Amino acid sequence: MNTFLKKYKEAVISFVALVGALLVEHVIIFEGSQYVYLMLYGLSYLAVGGSVWIKAFNSLKNGTLFSEFFLMGIATVGAFAIGEYAEGVAVMLFYTIGEYAQHGAVHKARNSIKKLIDQQPDVATVERDGETLDLHPSKVNNGDIVLVRPGDKVPLDGELITERASFNTAALTGESKPMTINAGEEVWAGSINQDSVVRIKVTSTFKDTKLSGILNMVQEASKRKAPTQRFITKFAKVYTPIVVWLAIAITFLPYLFVESYVFQDWFYRALIFLVVSCPCGLVISVPLGYFGGIGAASGNGILFKGSDYLDQLRKMKILFMDKTGTLTKGSFAVQSVQTYNGFSETELIKYAASLEQHSTHPIGKAILSYKNGQDLLPVVEQQEISGKGLKGVVNGKNVLAGNMDLLKDHQIKFTESLLSEPYTYIHIAVDGELVGTLSIADEIKEDSKRAIEELKERGLQKLVVLSGDNQEVVTYVATQLGLDEAHGNLLPDEKFKLVEEAIGKGNVVGFMGDGVNDAPVITLSDVGIAMGGMGSDATVETADVVIQNDQPSKLPLAIDISRFTHRIVWQNIFFALGIKILVMVLAGFGVATMWEAIFADVGVALIAIGNAIRIQVKFSETNSLLSFFTSVSEDDQHDLEEAHCCC
């Protein structure tokens, strides 16, 4: 609560002073109360109106006379001039609340790229002149030898000197399966060493690493994606000068045509005209419509970082998606078990899990999680055959668990053509006899297929998966889900080019992903969508939309919310403008009184609020605008803190 008060102190001061002024003017009446409530109205107005007038004067200095700030200012001063103090304050207060949502946490957006920088290792252990030195990677030269301990990140791109090692390359390729690298092959900065200490010969300087390339692409994409100009700013370029000149005309032109011209009467009509013309209904209806959509989406686990992206999502026609962690779970699991030579599944799993019981490899963990509570058998003489599997003595029997190469090394025959799916297969042999095969794969999420079907129902023209995994696996997943295209074996820059090409053809393009390697294309795309649960900090920060629970099926719901919000916003715009134009015409002829003016401004605004609430009612029963503003004031709700309003 203290954070909320500190963040929105101007609006809080204005609201408290406004309530106090209304009470003193209409309820607690005493001698001299007029001076008290005038002072309170003035304080309330200055608390929120001062910044608007500063913007108006800055616009004047920049050569823009008819800005929305100028219109807001003269309209509210006009309200004060004719004694409608509460009206003048309320206009500024509502406007300020709308502005808060846009500007409240810009510093968070600026920190998003810093998250990527933090992915880069800041220490490299270098061998020089028979010594090992800990240096910043920028101080390491090409040709230097660096040591990387198990669990540490590779500081720079280089060539592996150690005979063989396993690396987690998810930060670059998005693929959860560790990559086995042989001596002489390339290792990328940001990869995590899975095995014992390895030696790497540096081949790229700090600024030229793959990870630095990802950072540069994010920065480039950020510059290229300019924010959508706010609706009211465009509208005000036409609306504001017309309104101001009409008000001046209402004040002075009648002098030329009316015999009994009274300046005060026509000036009063012009002020009513200005009060009516003040875009309070628009100022409220547009952001509240988007806030309603943002609030309803957040209640369903979907975080929009701004109304621009809520609006862009409804126009999206092409969606690119990462595979691992987005359409699939990003973790390995046993898919099927085949047994041979009289072995039962229970017995097979017991031997396999026992041999893997000390393994930290994802495949070993998948087998262990599949053992269904079975007691593990003792293992002796366990040995890891790098890149092939394990062998050991389990309960007195020689057991092998590994790939086809391991079987060939021990002259155990097996027909590989029997394996039709593009999975990882672990073959189990006991005492020289093949007894079973486990198929292991990254599981497709339960709702991925439904999500694809619903996206097609909503009119998306093309759904494409882009992945760093091998093409065979990517094609299999795409076929299972009914996707239009599948591209595998991609590095971040290759994903970037494919998305860039689609955007260049004039399409509204979205990208949905979760890994650091997805950050450049998420930033480049018109709508960047991140999986908030598994997604890296850098990806979540650079995304426009965050799906908190990692369910792809939330995206069709987000599109529904986007489209319904768009309809509500334009209903409010047309309704507000229609009523205002009608009452302004009546005011010009002297028919409208201040009551009509108040209805055309405050009344229309209240109706617009009620219409905007329909979004929350339709899609969420728990959220409200108050809960939305409360959430944006909390540090742990950083994604909502970047919400934009289209006032």
Q: What is the pLDDT of residues 51-92, one digit of tens each?
A: 888 888 888 888 776 666 776 787 778 778 777 788 778 778
One domain, residues 98 and 242: yes
Please report whether residue 213 resides in a domain. no
> In this structure, are 417 and 515 located in the same domain?
no
Strand-pairing partners, residue 437, are 338, 427
365 and 417, same domain (yes or no)? yes
In this predicted structure, the answer to whether residue 160 has a pLDDT above a threshold of 80 is yes
Question: Do strands 545-547 and 527-531 pair parallel, antiparallel, or not at all (unpaired)?
Answer: parallel
Task: Tell me whether residue 214 is in a domain.
Answer: no
Is 191 part of a structural domain of the chain?
yes
> Are 89 and 238 within one domain?
yes
**What pTM was computed for the model?**
0.61
Domain boundary among 557, 575, 609: 557
Domain around 179 = 121-208
Q: Both 396 and 311 in a single domain?
A: no
Tokens at 149, concatenated:
């301990």
Query: Tens of pLDDT along 261-296?
Result: 888 788 778 877 776 776 655 666 676 677 778 777
Q: What residues contact 165, with CB distance under 8 A and at least 6 apart? A: 180, 181, 187, 193, 194, 195, 196, 198
Residue 12 sits in the same domain as residue 81:
yes
The reply to whether 515 and 455 lie within a common domain is yes
One domain for residues 551 and 465: yes
**Structure token digits, residue 328:** 């699939």
Give the gyration radius of the chain's Cα atoms.
33
How far apart CA 98 and CA 294 sit, in angstroms, is 13
Q: CB atoms < 10 A from the CB of 513, how many?
A: 31
The confidence band for 460, taking pLDDT boundaries of 50, 70 and 90, is very high
Domain boundary among 153, 181, 208: 208
Q: Report yes or no: 386 and 402 within 8 Å, Cβ to Cβ.
A: no
Give 418-457 pLDDT, tens digit per residue. 666 777 788 999 998 999 999 888 888 889 999 999 999 9
The CATH number given to whatever domain includes residue 482 is 3.40.50.1000
Residue 349 burial (CB count, 10 A): 22
551/457 same-domain check: yes
Would 116 be classed as within a structural domain?
A: no
Strand (E) or helix (H) holding 439: strand 433-444
The tokens describing 136, both together, are 């910043």
The question of whether 544 is a catalytic residue gets the answer no
Domain match, 357 and 286 both: no
**Do 468 and 552 fall into the same domain?**
yes
* DSSP alpha helix (H) spans, 174-230: 210-224
Instruction: Identify whether 178 is part of a domain.
Output: yes
3-class DSSP state of 551: coil
- Answer yes or no: is 311 within a domain: yes
Number of domains in the chain: 4
Residue 384: in which H helix or E strand, if any? Answer: strand 379-385
Pairing of strands 462-466, 145-148: unpaired
Among residues 157, 322, 442, 544, which one is catalytic? 322
For residues 337 and 465, state if they share a domain.
no
CB atoms within 10 A of CB 641: 21
Q: Return the CATH number at 395.
A: 3.40.1110.10
Q: Tens digits of per-residue pLDDT, 202-247? A: 988 887 776 665 555 455 544 444 333 456 556 666 776 787 788 8
d(CA 296, CA 565): 10
Give the H/E segment covering residue 420.
none
Name residue, tokens 């029963």: 621
Q: Of 530, 557, 584, which marks where a domain is finished?
A: 557
Contact of 127 with 146, CB cutoff 8 Å: yes
Per-residue HEC secondary structure of 560-590 comes to: HHHHHHHHHHHHHHHHHHHHHHHHHHHHHCC
Edge-first strand order for the sheet with 545-547 is 302-304, 545-547, 527-531, 509-513, 318-322, 462-466, 485-487
The answer as to whether 113 is a domain residue is no
Instruction: Confirm whether 453 is domain-assigned.
Output: yes
Give all strands (DSSP E) within 50-197, no chain letters: 124-128, 131-135, 145-148, 158-160, 164-168, 179-182, 186-187, 192-193
